[in-house]
Structure 1
Amino acid sequence: MTDSSAPAYEAAPYSLAIDAMGGDHAPDIVLAGLDRAADRHPSARILLVGDEAVLGTLLPRFPKARRICEIRHAPSSISMEMKPTAALRLRDSSLRMAIDAVASGEAGGVVSAGNSGAMLALAKIVLKTLPGITRPAMAAVNPSARGDVVMLDLGANIACDARNLVEFAVMGEAFAKAVLGLPAPSIGLLNVGAEELKGDERLRVAAEILRNSALASQFHGFVEGHDITAGTTDVVVTDGFSGNIALKTGEGALKLVSLLLQRVFRTSLLTRIGYLLVRPGLERMKEWIDPRRYNGAVFVGLNGIVVKSHGGADAEGFAAAVDVAMDAVTHQINEKIRDRLAQVEMLMASAPEGEVAASSSAA
């Protein structure tokens, strides 16, 4: 299935367009992150969009980034506090111009650590959603006991109906294939229990559609909160309200564990000696759960690759977001979503007449 309006990523002059002015510590951290990313993507070409005078002064300090970047001047930028409605009117901002580069096919994708609400609003207006997708979703990779897990939605859509959840499952499967390299990722719907009768109408309808769809062999069924970190499935699908709470709870739990370990190993001389003995293992664990490794959420379902970095990310975190964007572009995640989109209507048609619409009111 092809779409003539889709940007031709393979022919794009630039691999990515970067909003150099977005984020709590931009543009310094953005350039430092690109300097690290250049080691991993030496053949990439980056369109760096922002204040030319500022970037022209800073970029020489980052020789690796300078080698792969070309500056494009943007007269203005969008603050973290700006409302999306105001951001939409600012056509010469670094974020808008970076997204415009993707819309024109000049760049394969865009990365920004800036205002997430403005970024989603601009992306939806400028890039629009893929044909057959009603709402884009925010997807990201999280750690689990069995390896990496894709979770969506993480906050783009607070209320969702059954159709949205099925679309998220399709997009999550494509994301896991492209970014994690899984040939047939397993899919779970986040619920308050694993039993078939658990949850509200929209969850039961979405589950029934998936059980009778082309994704049936990959659909695990309902999963609970503890299944996310257990790695029960490769993809966890939920609405943005529950997904954002689960994400922030997980982040908080990791910080708590780190704090408690620090307290334990500082309580006495014996615990300090014990720390020296287990330090290599703790360092490995720290690397596995380092949130910087998992920075970079993708707005899937848009007619272009859009990656949101955490606003407070450091250089390593921003480099990780660039890695995610490069993976999505290189492995053509949107092409994989398009391949599944033809089946979406069949997924909807497999539900008893009227139930998908009825679940919308339940959401």
Structure 2
Amino acid sequence: MNGTITFAAGVGAFVISYTLLVPLRRWALRWDLTDRPSRRKAHASPTPYLGGIAIKLGTLVPAAAALGFADQRITAILLAAMAIGMVGLIDDVRPLQPFTKLAVEAVAAIGVVSSGVHVTLTGGWLDGALTMLWMVVMVNSFNLLDNMDGALGTVTMVTAAFLAGTAFVSGEPSLGLLLIALACTSLGFLPHNWAPAKIFMGDSGSLFIGFALACSAVLLVSGRGPDATIAGLLLPTFVATVDTGVVFLSRVRAGRSPLVGGTDHVSHRLRRMGLRTRAVAVVLGLAAAVAGGCCLAMALQWISPLATAVVAFGAAVLFISLLQGCGRQHADRAPKTRGIRERRH
């Protein structure tokens, strides 16, 4: 892939995202498509939800213009991510039943698997089933991660950038360009979403991001052994995986449904430990950078896939265990700090 084309795609993604967010914010306020303040939310005024549209267009337009439809795997990822993003947009405007969203996510995952994007652990039909299940779980894990100003945007920017490097090293330049576009569109989104946020990405953005990153990770481990597959799937989704693990265990122990929203995510726990909202986003971004750097180092054959898988899995378990006790006594209490918000799950 020509470096000039990749650079142009990245610049285009940033410009589209950054500039489009201004009219989207005005339209959302005019149409009352906002997240309203409440006792369990910290923002002081209605905040628009339509940021996900800029993220989708900022990624898809440059990627489609540069790549066309030559690679059926990339085409399948783009079309399926767009479909899931559209469902997320509908959910932002008029909340859908969880089963409806899960059904669309499953169909989209099946479409991507059918294009040849799947893990190769067993060599049979089970690989497709495992891939589909993992994609659906990760889509919703990234959706859950969008719970604080700047958090998911920062994690996406860092993760997509490192995953793009991994793609180029692994001989997947088309995927690398797509991920560069995603990283740059997230960079364009962040000035508008940095605390205090002027606009939220909504489910349309978080579901799109989760699906795109999950599919990209799967494509890069296809044909690899179990150790490289485990490490290659866990590292790009490390922050989202830990957050989901913390929330799931804490709510199960408390006898609450994991599907009900709350302020017991990793970001909220870090905030209650004394970090400011912007600092929390930076910490999550640094965690994503360490995980992404390990993924890239593994692709460069600087570290062993087996050792990477063991360390990554152990680190995830350790962080989930440690974070269980951070702010547990306040998990059901609404935070008093600007920038923290409870999202619909």
- State the TM-score bracket (shorter-chain normalisation): under 0.3
TM-score (norm 2): 0.26
Greater CA radius of gyration, 1 or 2? 1
